[in-house]
Amino acid sequence: MQTNDLLSPSAAPTASVHRGAVIIRSARVIVTCPGRNFVTLKIETDQGVYGIGDATLNGREKSVVAYLEEHVIPTLIGKDAQRIEDIWQYLYRGAYWRRGPVTMTAIAAVDTALWDIKAKLAGMPLYQLLGGRSRDGVLVYGHANGLDIEHTVDEVGRYKEMGYRAIRAQSGIPGVKGAYGVGRGDMYYEPADGTLPTETLWNTTAYLSYAPKLFEKLRDTHGFGIELLHDVHHRLTPIEAGRLGKDLEPYRLFWMEDSTPAENQEAFRLIRQHTTTPLAVGEIFNTIWDCKDLIQNQLIDYIRTTVVHAGGITHLRRIADLASMYQVRTGSHGATDLSPVCMGAALHFDTWVPNFGIQEYMRHTPETDEVFLHDYSFKDGYLHVGDTPGHGVDIDEALAAKYPYEPKQLPIARLQDGSMWNW
């Protein structure tokens, strides 16, 4: 145990502090609502360098705040901020209670902040520490949401004009109250809308006959020179998903997302047997164990885990490496409830990761962009990271304080007969 570079060797089995350590002096959680709620962890070191990490879990924000404040922050003080892997293992193994969205979001926030610190100390943009650039820009997809087919077709046209090369299309469905993905205003689709969950009504039969018509019209109008994506948002059974995938084959989707709930990973085998439409899943996964079977059995094409909900860069890298062995590519979640801090870190990850597929990009409101200053930028369908040391995103704390937390929850879905369904 006693080696020359130990500053304070100790008999106790705690992590030793080595020469050159960068000590965590404080950490705190910042909650702000510039149009929607965001939770941010800020870690400060004795060298004056600080890092920030996104800790936002939509509709469950305060659980992560409590987890961080009550259980994580006290254990960070005095640790060497450079020991990212050891701190990750400490928070994961050390909690005894492994996995779950709250735990993994809290770990992700710490991990992201520590990578930010390490990259700032190195004087490098984060992607350099991961292994450097694999590509010039990060292909992103935007969200075209319409009240009906005509409207959605127009919205896709608008996204094309803005320069997008890949567009997700969602449409209202006649007879379905509150179909998933229909925007409430221009550009900013935002599902978390009530202090209590809004009740929506789902109708699988109406959806299954409507969705192929939407994509038929989209291809007729916009041709095949643009990538189209679609999110089913967990609404179908595996055999229904197989049928939809088959019906959508003529329209060559980039992917069909979350077509059935994925707690049972084996369910995707059935979908796979019926369709060549590429499958994407994983925005609600939080560890490699949620997608291990899906990946190893090549039941999916894109894995959608992202920095903030899957344990940070340290864990996302493990998922991506496993996926790369099976030709599964990344397609990280990037809805507006993932803050610009997550987006910044995700873009550095995407710039490096060899088996990159695509990155979701729902633009944040101007108020959000003012609170979270960032150096990434959009051009011709791609997002580009900047060269600021770290992940390139910072928080204006004074401005953040002007937007206090507003309790909001995600909707729920019921079937026509009143039974609960998957939102």
Interface residues toward ligand GCO, by CB under 6 A: 58, 191, 231, 233, 283, 333, 335, 337, 360, 410
> Is the CB of 231 or the CB of 290 nearer to Mg ion?
231
Min dist CB 356 to Mg ion, Å, is 18
Strand order across the 420-421 sheet: 199-202, 412-415, 420-421
Residue 115 to residue 125: CA distance in whole angstroms: 10
| Dihedral sign of CA atoms 344, 165, 193, 100 in order | negative
Residue 66 to residue 310: CA distance in whole angstroms: 18
Min dist CB 169 to Mg ion, Å, is 13
Residue 131: how many other CB atoms lie within 10 Å: 12
Min dist CB 410 to ligand GCO, Å, is 6
Nearest alpha-carbon partner for 38 in 398, 400, 339? 339
Residue 99: how many other CB atoms lie within 10 Å: 17
> Is the CB of 54 or the CB of 231 nearer to Mg ion?
231
What one-letter code names the amino acid at 399?
L
What one-letter code names the amino acid at 77?
I
> Is the CB of 283 or the CB of 290 nearer to Mg ion?
283
Residue 203 · residue 210 · CB < 8 Å: no
Give the distance from CA 403 to its chain's centroid: 23
Out of Mg ion, ligand GCO, none, what residue 322 binds, judged by CB under 5 to 8 A for its kind, is none
Min dist CB 181 to ligand GCO, Å, is 7
Looking at beta carbons, which residue is closest to Mg ion? 231
**214-243 positions binding Mg ion, by CB under 5 A:** 231
Of 90, 92, 230, 233, the catalytic one is: 233
Of 127, 180, 302, 376, the catalytic one is: 180
180 is catalytic: yes
Only segment of 87-95, 211-219, 280-288, 290-298 that touches Mg ion (CB under 5 A)? 280-288
Nearest alpha-carbon partner for 238 in 260, 206, 255? 260
> Is the CB of 95 or the CB of 335 nearer to ligand GCO?
335
Residue 106 to residue 97: CA distance in whole angstroms: 13
> Is the CB of 227 or the CB of 283 nearer to Mg ion?
283
Give the distance from CA 189 to its chain's centroid: 16
Min dist CB 152 to Mg ion, Å, is 16
Q: Rule CB under 5 A: is residue 337 a binding residue for Mg ion? A: no
Out of Mg ion, ligand GCO, none, what residue 360 binds, judged by CB under 5 to 8 A for its kind, is ligand GCO
Min dist CB 364 to Mg ion, Å, is 17
Extract the tokens encoding 16. Answer: 């030793």
Size of the site for Mg ion (CB under 5 A): 2
233 is catalytic: yes
Beta bridge partners of 372: 395
How far are the Cα atoms of 6, 23, 362 from residue 10, in angstroms, in the given order?
Answer: 9, 17, 50
Out of Mg ion, ligand GCO, none, what residue 337 binds, judged by CB under 5 to 8 A for its kind, is ligand GCO
Extract the tokens encoding 233. Answer: 């948002």
Residue 320 · residue 100 · CB < 8 Å: no
End-to-end CA distance of the chain: 53
> Is the CB of 79 or the CB of 230 nearer to Mg ion?
230
Min dist CB 26 to Mg ion, Å, is 36
> Is the CB of 21 or the CB of 308 nearer to ligand GCO?
308
Residue bearing tokens 């990344």: 330
Catalytic positions are 180, 233
Question: Where along the sequence are the contacts to Mg ion (CB under 5 A)?
Answer: 231, 283
